[in-house]
C-alpha cells in the first residue's frame, strides 16, 4: 500500500509540473505575439497607409538649424546626407548583430511597402567610438547634429526642405508608418 502511495505522489507531482510548464509556455506565446519586434518576429508589411489631410501637418517635423548647413562643408562627414537630392532614412548604430538585423528588417519593409523610390536608406553602422570633427572647427556640422539626433532614433530627412522627423527608437513598424505618412512631404 505504501509503495502505491509513493507512485501516486510522484505521478501527481509530474502532472502538476507539466500543467505549470504548459501555462508558462502559453503565457509566453501570448505576450510574444503582442510584441513582434521584441520577439524577433517580423512585422514588415503595413497594410494600410495613414490618411493625411494636409501634407504639411505631419507630426514631428523639425527644421534643421541653419548653422548646421553653414558649418558643414563638402569635406565633412555626412555632408551628402543633408544635401541629398532625395529624402533620406538615416540612423546611427553599432555594427553588430542587432544593428545589422535592424538594417535588414528595415530594408525588407521598405521593399514590401514600395518606399525605395521615395527614400534612400542610409544606416551608419560603426564598430567603435566615432570621432566627430567639423572641418570649420565648430561643433555644429552635420555629423555632430545627426549623431546627436539620430543615434537612439531613426531620422527621416528632407534635405530640400531642410527638415527632419525623428521616429522614437529602432522600431520597424513605427519607421515604416511615418515613412508612408511622409512620402509626399
Separation of alpha carbons 97 and 31, rounded Å: 24
C-alpha cell at 63: 527644421
Note the pLDDT of residue 129: 67
Q: For the CA atoms of the chain, what is the radius of gyration?
A: 24
Could you give the C-alpha distances from 48 to 115, 158, 182, in angstroms and in order?
14, 23, 14
Separation of alpha carbons 185 and 183, rounded Å: 6
DSSP β-ladder status, 87-94 and 154-158: antiparallel
Note the pLDDT of residue 47: 40
Q: What's the predicted TM-score (pTM) here?
A: 0.67
Note the pLDDT of residue 160: 95
Domain assignments of the chain as residue spans, ordered by start: 55-182
Q: 55-182 domain in CATH 3.40.30.10?
A: yes
pLDDT, tens digit only, all 185 positions of the chain: 555 666 677 777 777 877 887 787 766 776 665 544 444 444 444 444 343 333 456 889 999 999 999 999 998 889 999 999 999 999 998 888 898 999 999 999 999 999 999 999 999 988 766 677 788 888 889 999 998 899 889 999 999 999 999 999 889 999 999 999 999 99
Rounded-to-10 torsion of CA 133, 139, 141, 142: 90
Which residue, among 124, 170, 128, has the nearest Cα to 147 in the 3D structure?
124
Separation of alpha carbons 60 and 146, rounded Å: 16
Amino acid at each position: 500500500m505504501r509503495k502505491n502511495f509513493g507512485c501516486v505522489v510522484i505521478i501527481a507531482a509530474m502532472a502538476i509540473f507539466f500543467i505549470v510548464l504548459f501555462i508558462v509556455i502559453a503565457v509566453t506565446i501570448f505576450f510574444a505575439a503582442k510584441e513582434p519586434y521584441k520577439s524577433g518576429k517580423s512585422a514588415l508589411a503595413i497594410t494600410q497607409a495613414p490618411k493625411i489631410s494636409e501634407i504639411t501637418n505631419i507630426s514631428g517635423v523639425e527644421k534643421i538649424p541653419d548653422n548646421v548647413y553653414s558649418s558643414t562643408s563638402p569635406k565633412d562627414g555626412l555632408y551628402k546626407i543633408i544635401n541629398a537630392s532625395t529624402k533620406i532614412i538615416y540612423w546611427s548604430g553599432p555594427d553588430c548583430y542587432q544593428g545589422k538585423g535592424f538594417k535588414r528588417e528595415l530594408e525588407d519593409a521598405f521593399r514590401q511597402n514600395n518606399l525605395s523610390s521615395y527614400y534612400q536608406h542610409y544606416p551608419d553602422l560603426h564598430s567603435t567610438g566615432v570621432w566627430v570633427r567639423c572641418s570649420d572647427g565648430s561643433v555644429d556640422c552635420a555629423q555632430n547634429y545627426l549623431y546627436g539626433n539620430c543615434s537612439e532614433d531613426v531620422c527621416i530627412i528632407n534635405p530640400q526642405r531642410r527638415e527632419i522627423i525623428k521616429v522614437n527608437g529602432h522600431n520597424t513598424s513605427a519607421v515604416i508608418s511615418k515613412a508612408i505618412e511622409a512620402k509626399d512631404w
